[in-house]
Structure 1
Amino acid sequence: MFPFAKIPQSCQDMKRLIKDLGLGYDKIHSCPNNCMLYWGDQKNQQCCNVCDKSRWMNENIEDVNADEGGAQLRKKPVKVLRYFPLIPRLQRLFMSSKMTESMRWHNDQRTDDRLLRHPADSLAWKSFDMRFSSFASDPRNMRLGLAADGFNPFKIMSTSYSTWPVVLVPCNLPPWICMKQTSFILSMIIPGEKGPGNDIDIYLQPLIEELKQLWSGVETYDVLRKENFYLRAALLWTINDFPAYANLSGWSTKGRYACPCCAAQTCSKWLYNGKFSYMGHRRWLDGNHKFRFQRTLFDGTEEYKGAPQQTVRSEILFMLKDINFSYGKMNQPPNTQSKRRSRDESDDESDE
């Protein structure tokens, strides 16, 4: 059927072909309790620094080395993170003249009529450009969005397994290309029987390291202009549901202060059925709006408060100043502690 095609004859040949095309990935071993990655300076460690769990499974598997023609025994890791390097993929985008032109679309061809049709029309994009004028001076510099969520790869709801892909979205592209599946950049695949939870920070370390390099600039060849330039990239947004929002932001989206934007100014009320209710949405209305004074339609009170002030970055850094971060399943508080907290909060509400 394909007389001139060189189809790989084995799985090893196929892997070599994919690696030569730059489509491979790095295997990074991780602690089974999500405490650490065996990466960087800790690449050669044999056990976890936090929980002292072994890096390897008990049994060995037989690996046939085709080059040497002999059988060798190698250890099998307990958990493996598949990480797809970001910098080579971004550099490869500028090897296509059509894609390079699309990367400049937001600056050269976008209609700026104060209507929101593209992420470049948003206030976040514009305020970022005003603050970092050197970054905005070159339209080829990339703005990225990060999307993360878990799913069951086996399509069986009774099976307890959750795989977490982390995907990057290049926001420079036109809107009819930006959110197409072919434009998404797979960054990593986090394995595990359950989601990583707050320990997702452990797995994001390789990506954060590359984003730091991209912020400083990476030399890249522009095939359209036939010149080298320093490509820079910044992560502007995250795309996720509310539970994943808590894992990525570090702010709990449950309990008394569930809103990451309102923070300590979240309007919450403990109900007798064991749940929190959030009825403070009338604070965003005009001061003389009729809904502010209608008690029967809402929670039986009139609303006189204004919209909460947005928490600035200096306040966030002050709140995080004395926090000690601990990762891994062994360091998670027991469920009884959360239940005790809920009872204490309900007692406080009844006392008030």
Structure 2
Amino acid sequence: MSDDRRLQVLRAIVQDYVATSEPVGSKALLERHRLGVSAATVRNDMAALEEDGLIAAPHTSAGRIPTDAGYRLFVDRLSGIKPMSRAEKSAIRTFLDQSVDLDDVVDRTARLLASLTQQVAVMQYPSLSRSTVRHVELVPLGIDRAMVVLILSSGRVEQRVVELAQDPADAAGQQLLGELRARINAVTDGQVLGEATAQLSSLPEEFPAADRPSVQAIITSLTDLLREQREERVVLAGTSNLARTGVDAGDLGVVLEALEQHVVLLRLLESLDPVERDAVAVRIGAENPHAGLQSTSVVTTTYGSGGVAGLGVLGPTRMDYPSTMAAVRAVARYVSEILDQ
């Protein structure tokens, strides 16, 4: 048996089983696919695939279904991720372009992925640990107050109101805020948060003594924002799809329990090798490190400049891998474009 023909038979079994959820027999393969060989040859090919652990019989006298190893070979031999249609791409862009802030981007992205794939969508909020400073703005608010606005590469915007020792709205105050804004951005632009914090410590000493209380108040507030520790968060959408897309009823409760543990999902999304960031990773069955997810497949990638966070979908191993991988990749690219604007 040639390797090419064996892969052709395996591909046909995977496609039919994903489409029908029924074990696939040799007769059905010959009827649905132009394999160009006899029924006896197909049966021999299937016997060899079963011996290699790539397909299995769920019960006696049944057709065959792919094993985790069979799905893995199928995914590894994909010639490429099929592109989405122009209409699909336009719909994705239109839907995400309507987002009004970061929370809305994350919520819309998760719901969109769940809808496109009919799986459970998982999206990590942009990680502060990998974000860099894009811009710092200082806005006068009144006689003795100013707002410090921190804009990160991830699209996250943080702000805090600071009480000052002088009026930031008069000529001297505006000049001070302008000079301080320029110096802050000069030393923090493009820096990861830890490095940006270190760059700010000596700035108050560079200003006249009369201005230092106000400068120190702003620097302290900004430093607090940069150092602020926040729990990493993930958003889920489409959990109800698990009951419709083929997760065995006996495994459903275990999978749902795992999904409630966001630390498990964060580890999945953050476990891409740095050299593989921007690639689409597929973990099938037992390849998932958490026992509760070993009846599922997880398709993930990163988004944002430098791969600041991850997104993906989770569903049964009986998954339409080419379409799911295409959707995950396309959505990640559009989200990245939105956040990089």
Considering fraction of residues, name the structure with more helix: 2
Q: Which has the higher contact order (CA 8 A, sep 6+)?
A: 2
Normalised TM-score (structure 1): 0.21
Q: Which has the larger radius of gyration?
A: 2
TM-score by length of 2: 0.21
